[in-house]
Amino acid sequence: MAKAYRWRKKHAAALDFAIASGRALRGIASAEELALVAAHRRCAQCGMLMPSGRRADALYCRRACKAKASRARRKAAQSEGDHDA
């Protein structure tokens, strides 16, 4: 029993966020839960939660996501240029 209590205490924030985000998706979240979910930023490419060590103005969670977004922008610009010709 003590082991379960220590685990819950250690992971309480993550569990609270998971519960709040699930309720927000279903549309039954309280204002406090919505604020908790809104406080967590997500990666512009993959949609995962941003790691806590990232800069406040970071858009991507990893270098791989940043590179993937750059490749997608280049491909879109290239295909847009092909249509003009």
Q: Three-class SS of residue 49?
A: strand
Q: What is the pLDDT of residue 1?
A: 65
From the CB of residue 58, how many other CB atoms can be counted at a distance below 10 Å? 14
Write phi, then psi, for 42 (nearest 5 degrees): -125, 155
Query: Distance (Å, rounded) from C-alpha 22 to C-alpha 29?
Result: 8
Look at the block and give the residue holding tokens 């609270």: 16
4-18 pLDDT, tens digit per residue, is 778 777 777 777 777
Stretch 18-28: mean pLDDT: 75
Model pTM above 0.75: no
One-letter amino acid at 82 equals D
